[in-house]
Structure 1
Amino acid sequence: MIVAFIYFVLVSVSILLTVQSAHVLYLMLYTWDRADAERRARAPESFLPPHLSFSVLLPARHEEDVIQSTIERVVRADYPSELLEVFVICSEDDTGTVEKAEEKIEELGREGLHNVRVVVFGDKPINKPHGLNAALPHTTKDVVTIFDAEDDIHPKIFSLVNTVMVQEQVRVVQAGVQLMNYQSNWYSTLNVLEYFFWFKSRLHYHAHYGSIPLGGNTVFFARELLMRLGGWDDRNLTEDADMGLRISAMGEKVRVVYDDRYVTKEETPPTLGHFIRQRTRWSQGFMQTLKKGTWKEMPTRKQRWLAFYVLAFPRGQALLGLYLPLSLGMILILKVPVLIALFSYLPVLLLAAHFLVQVVGLYEFTGAHGLEASPKAVVRMAIAWFPFQMVLAYAALRAMRRQMLGRHDWEKTQHVGAHRAPTEEAESRVG
């Protein structure tokens, strides 16, 4: 009886994880599989004259190494400076970042550019959404956008969004973000490809069905919409996903634009510890948002199901991490009926399919950005594949533990500018 129950649980979990993995694979290939989806994702081929103005929020904490380059890129964007204002957001204890930002502001002032200022907040919590809320009342332009402190934005990004918002009469635009340093360490390639498939394909599916967890930067909001919503939830560790679902619940259309030419470039976390803390924060933030229940306010069952599915995904990762070693162990060690063994191996086969799709994605990503993939890179991916899944599962389990303990402090991810050319960074620091 007990053995039969174990077999039943094993088969049930195998089927559940197989269906879930197959659906993720479908989402990864959504814009490749459907011509209409790919067409909707495109950036305009030509841009309208500047019409909208932009308030740029740059939340930063201990970003002394990268903040000056980021300010430089935003201010030098190919858009009229009088239609841009930039706010560097820091907590009062982060004197290093404040000093670096003020140095850059003084330098720009000598050139006649006076559209950058620092907003310092002294109350808690010390995290990104609270900083965004502190800066929001200071904004005066039509559109509010967020970039992270290490972001390399494309000079044409404001022209692109100006065109989309004016032509299509939308009030929220999510543009593409791409990690770049795919060879920095053993997990970088897989982390880079996560972003590639998320922004190039998966988000378009969510936008199409009106249930979208927005990204944390390169997202553009009509200011009046943000003010009506009262800003961000500063207790939420994934305030971006929460904001996207709140907007979706209002019935607001979100336009997702992905074009390899115009992506915002970022870096993978520099160490495994930083990667785990970042992924823990994301997983816990999804758990918070699931518990908060905004997704229940969406008008259709399809939207509610899709939001629930995304927010519950970290728990699925935790389950998969526990299941894979058990499944492999049972296949290799225990004598179980052949049919049971085959069922238990189905999720592993789906993971193999995921890997093959990611290999194709690697060659497409590198080709789009003038980089070069190699068989050696594919071998490194294969070696890292299983450990990477275990790391994701560990981060999800860690998030569950933090959630149960009531710990919601913001675990900072370090940025070192690994996505930027060394000579370029050196010149920026000298400047």
Structure 2
Amino acid sequence: MGGWDAYNVTEDADLGFRLARFGYRSTTFASTTFEEAPARFGGWLRQRSRWMKGWMQTWSVHMRQPRRLWKEAGAKGFLTLNTIIGGNVLTALTFPVLVIDMALRSLEGAGSEFCAGTVTPLHLTTIAAGFVSTIVVGLMGLARRGQLRQGWILALTPIYWACLSIAAWRALYQLLSEPYRWEKTEHGLSPQIRSAAASRTPERDEETCDAVFRPQSALKY
């Protein structure tokens, strides 16, 4: 597929589109993952900044030749790159711009004049649609996992979006100043992970490694 771009800090996004351009298809299957999410805001911000920067790199690389991308990945691949990758980045970058614009307009023309503006209804509709879709998807996921009692956290979606905007603008700055800096995500911070690691013994770790790697030792290359 032309190799692996070692300078892209979200290599899975780049590889996904390389696969698509070579005619491969990606699918998902029902499974449970126990990957630990960042437990502190600093770690979360660095992780999201890296993701945003990598998406910017992925979009920039694959959109260098739009016609070739359309020919190789097709209309679906072309639209997916610009909607999922480019759209996520653009939304995060423009969210604070929309909020500030609406705040200034509300101060300039209070009350009905603000709501009657030509651009304001579009801004309000866009932000409301984003909030509603995010909350609905979150509630669907919580319902499937039997965790609806945690649904109150979705009321903080506007704050979360603001944090994503901070990460996006930080990523844009890094893209221009230090594009290849890789801020690794720190794991092993949650009490569950620490207690599980403390309960392990060398014998159990060795058994686990044997179970994983022994079948592969019989393969012939």
| Shared fold per TM-score greater than 0.5 | yes
- 1:228-239 alignment, distance < 5 Å: 229=1, 231-239=3-11
Q: CA deviation at 1:429?
A: 5.7
Q: CA deviation at 1:284?
A: 0.8
Give the Cα separation in 2 of the matches to 1:305 and 1:389: 23
Q: Does 1:302 align with 2:71?
A: no
Is the Cα–Cα contact under 8 Å of residues 131 and 158 in structure 2 kept in the other structure?
no
Partner of residue 339 from structure 1, selected from 116, 123, 126: 116
Partner of residue 98 from structure 2, selected from 308, 323, 327: 323
Give the Cα separation in 1 of the matches to 2:2 and 2:123: 48
User: AA paired with 1:311?
Assistant: I
Q: CA deviation at 1:307?
A: 1.3
Provide closer, same or farther for how the CA distance between residues 373 and 333 of structure 1 changes in structure 2, counting only shifts above 3 A: farther
Is the Cα–Cα contact under 8 Å of residues 270 and 416 in structure 1 kept in the other structure?
no
Q: Does 1:245 align with 2:17?
A: yes
User: AA paired with 1:428?
Assistant: R
Give the Cα separation in 2 of the matches to 1:358 and 1:265: 20
Give the Cα separation in 1 of the matches to 2:141 and 2:34: 16
Provide closer, same or farther for how the CA distance between residues 426 and 413 of structure 1 changes in structure 2, counting only shifts above 3 A: same
Q: Secondary structure of the residue that 2:38 maps to in structure 1?
A: coil
- 1:28-427 alignment, distance < 5 Å: 229=1, 231-257=3-29, 259=30, 262-293=31-62, 296=66, 297=69, 298-312=72-86, 313-331=88-106, 334-335=109-110, 336-340=113-117, 341-367=120-146, 372-374=147-149, 377-382=150-155, 384-416=156-188, 418=190, 420=192, 423-427=195-199
Q: Aligned-residue CA RMSD in angstroms?
A: 2.7
Higher RCO (Cα < 8 Å, 6 or more apart): 2
Q: What do the CA deviations read for 1:348-406 (whole angstroms, capped 9, x no partner)?
A: 32134125404522532432xxxx442xx333331x22221011011111111111224
Query: Which consecutive unaligned segments of at least 5 residues does structure 2 have?
Result: 205-221
Q: Larger helix proportion, structure 1 or 2?
A: 2
User: AA paired with 1:250?
Assistant: F
Normalising by structure 1, report the TM-score. Answer: 0.40
* Percent identical: 22
Give the Cα separation in 2 of the matches to 1:402 and 1:276: 13
Give the Cα separation in 2 of the matches to 1:299 and 1:351: 27
Q: Secondary structure of the residue that 2:34 maps to in structure 1?
A: strand
**Structure 1 residue runs of 4 or more that deviate by more than 6 Å after TM superposition:** none
Give the Cα separation in 2 of the matches to 1:235 and 1:422: 32
Q: CA deviation at 1:290?
A: 1.6
Q: CA deviation at 1:244?
A: 0.8
Q: CA deviation at 1:264?
A: 2.4
Q: Larger strand proportion, structure 1 or 2?
A: 1
Give the Cα separation in 1 of the matches to 2:102 and 2:201: 51
Provide closer, same or farther for how the CA distance between residues 324 and 422 of structure 1 changes in structure 2, counting only shifts above 3 A: same
Q: What do the CA deviations read for 1:234-260 (whole angstroms, capped 9, x no partner)?
A: 011111111110110011122322x1x
Give the Cα separation in 2 of the matches to 1:429 and 1:299: 48
Give the Cα separation in 2 of the matches to 1:311 and 1:234: 19
Normalising by structure 2, report the TM-score. Answer: 0.74
Provide closer, same or farther for how the CA distance between residues 402 and 424 of structure 1 changes in structure 2, counting only shifts above 3 A: closer
Is the Cα–Cα contact under 8 Å of residues 267 and 419 in structure 1 kept in the other structure?
no
